[in-house]
Amino acid sequence: MQKLLLAFSVVLGLTIVVALVYIYERDQRGLREAALVGTWVHQPANNESLYYDFRRDGTLIVMDSAGQPTDTTGKWYAGGPNIYIRFPLEVLRDRQLVVWHIVDISPDQFRVRAWRDDEPMIYQRMKPPKASN
């Protein structure tokens, strides 16, 4: 009986440890940058799509609806519940650092808020249109 109780206690203890590690990794560790790498499209109310190319090296290139790079480029970092985007001073003088608060993220879509009370902005993963030369 003691051996059975000991074996049950060990299995129960391991199950609890595995469950706690899983919960921590899922909920507390935060976003991994690799989840955002790729091209995302945001279609605001004026229907002018903008493509955001999050690159592995931490650069961000914003493209217009035709797939042409705009003058808006910067650096990005995803950490915890936020995405941080830093633009050079000559690109955006009024908002050099942009912080997006992540509402929800999946492999094909993410929703973020720029301000706490704003409606979430929705970004869909996709390939940018071919730039015409």
Strands 38-42 and 121-125: antiparallel
Q: Can you tell me whether residue 12 is helix, strand or coil?
A: helix
Q: With bands split at pLDDT 50, 70 and 90, how would you rate the model's confidence at 126?
A: confident
d(CA 86, CA 58): 10
* Residues near 56 by beta carbon (within 8 Å), at least 6 away in sequence: 34, 37
17-41 pLDDT per residue, tens: 999 988 777 666 656 667 889 999 9
Taking 60 as the threshold, does the pLDDT of residue 129 lie above it? no
Q: Which is nearest to 99 in space by CA: 78, 118, 120, 117? A: 78
Q: What is the pLDDT of residue 133?
A: 47
Closest to 76 measured CA to CA, from 132, 123, 127, 130: 123
What span, in angstroms and rounded, lies between the C-alpha atoms of 49 and 15?
A: 48
Task: Tell me the two tokens of residue 60.
Answer: 């961000």
